[in-house]
Amino acid sequence: MTDPATNGPTILLRSSWQTPNIGDVAHTPGALRALARYAPEARLALWPVAIGARERAMLAAAFPDLDIVDGDLRPDGSATTPELAAALDAADVLVHGSGPSLVRADDLRVWAATGKPYGLFGVSVDPLNPMFTGTLDEIETMVRSLGRGGIDDHQLAVLDGAAFVYCRDSITEVFLRSLGLTGPAVAFGPDATVAFDLLDEEAAARTKARHGLADGAYLCAVPRLRWTPYHRIRGEAPTLLDARRTAYNDLWAGHDLGVLAAAVVAYVRRTGHPVLVAPEMSYAVELAEEHFGDALPADVRPYVRVLDRFWSAPEAMTVYRDAEAVVSLECHSPLMAMSQGTPAVYVRQPTDTLKGRMYADLGVPHRSTEIGDGPVPVVTALQRILDDPVAARAETAAIRDRAHDRLRGMAEHVMACAAPLISHTAPPLGT
């Protein structure tokens, strides 16, 4: 636990959804940092879904008193390991970490039978994706007309039984409010990635030295395909759906990466500084190597470096911190950059979920654009950062600080729900 000497309540965090995505990795230490900082009386334990040796070492170094509890729940609700059974018994509240959905709704359902509180800490609930896609405005229009038909009874019951539901984007908030939930209040709460602060100075220094990157004088560009090829990541044979999505990706890859390349070209020609093309997800290493070489103009090509490996979240965070800016087709690298005060531009693809609305919700709508609008809005947003980098960093820091204020309120509410030994009652979620 975070502090074995404390008599405060125990918070069990269900998180760590996958490791091939540094954004998903960052969710967990971000949530732990927010809870440790703003609910210091609590003892913290992590119940991960998927965690590797690298991530365990990262968490052990950052949170030396943290218990990491392994195990799953059987269909009858019993724990598969004694340590999980003990953790479930000891915990006063279960917190479902930031993520793309009710990732572990079944676990919340089992927990609900204990009568102890649970809630969601900055999640999206997209009732349309993957069947229907579109711009954020189109998705919001569909969501507003959807109502209760967008969720099954099982998930509805899990949501209705929660003590708190923090939505990391306002479209999710609109959708959940339309369900007529009678249990929890529903409120905006940032993705916990914005509190991720773990760095790897040594690894970042080696990367910057190898690629000739001077602090404050390089751009990071993060590529993405419209559909993540999970079968390739997992080494599985493609299903029929995978084959269809691969064909769709092949259709749009040139266009989408061309938009990102336009930002790279504009940056190099304006500044004469290098660009590091780097992955948020493991598969993007190969993607970057394929698309950011000979296809670039001859005058730009010598300035572009492609990271030839999948890096750790702390190394990426440190390199993002020292960049002049980040432009990303992935949604979480801009949040990671923001957490370190580095201005970033998010370029959203229509197959991504409604989570992309979080940038407008955080107060930087001008740092987010739809890829269907082409390269001009992306280049314009980047040029605004370059026009006044001091002001852009100040704006980014202010947005981050407001997000942290919101995380403080979220952590305090979790603490109040979890604390039978504390006399005050849980404050309203809007505080």
Spell out the residues 6+ positions from residue 423 whose beta carbon is closer than 8 angstroms to its own: none
Reported pTM: 0.94
The domains spanning 10-195+403-418 and 201-399 adopt the same CATH topology: yes
Average pLDDT of span 324-338: 98
- Using 50, 70 and 90 to split pLDDT, how confident is the model at 6? low
Please tell me the CATH superfamily of domain 201-399, with its number. Glycogen Phosphorylase B; (3.40.50.2000)
Query: Look-up: residue for tokens 């938009």?
Result: 259
What percentage of the chain exceeds 90 in pLDDT?
90
Predicted local distance difference test score (pLDDT) of residue 143: 95
pLDDT in tens, 151-196: 999 999 999 999 999 999 999 999 999 998 888 889 999 999 999 9
Tell which residue, 383, 355, 361, has the closest CA to residue 139. Answer: 355
Domain 10-195+403-418 has CATH 3.40.50.2000: yes
- Using 50, 70 and 90 to split pLDDT, how confident is the model at 423? very low
Is the pLDDT assigned to residue 422 strictly greater than 80? no
Predicted local distance difference test score (pLDDT) of residue 406: 97
Segments making up each domain of the chain, as ranges: 10-195+403-418, 201-399
Give CA–CA dist 261/349, Å, rounded.
15
Q: Which helix (H) or strand (E) holds 55?
A: helix 53-62
Q: Which amino acid is at 346?
A: Y
Average pLDDT, the chain: 94
Question: Which residues, in sequence order, are bridge partners of residue 14?
Answer: 47, 96
In this structure, the strands spanning 93-96 and 164-167 are unpaired
- Using 50, 70 and 90 to split pLDDT, how confident is the model at 428? low
pLDDT in tens, 64-117: 999 999 999 998 999 999 999 999 999 999 999 999 999 999 999 999 999 999
Of the listed ranges 307-311, 414-418, 425-429, the one predicted with least confidence: 425-429
What percentage of the chain exceeds 70 in pLDDT?
96
Predicted local distance difference test score (pLDDT) of residue 293: 82
The sheet with strand 43-48 has its strands ordered as: 67-68, 43-48, 10-15, 93-96, 118-123, 164-167, 186-188
pLDDT in tens, 251-287: 999 999 999 999 999 999 999 999 999 999 999 999 9
Is the pLDDT assigned to residue 235 strictly greater than 70? yes
Spell out the residues 6+ positions from residue 407 whose beta carbon is closer than 8 angstroms to its own: 34, 38, 189, 190, 192, 194, 195
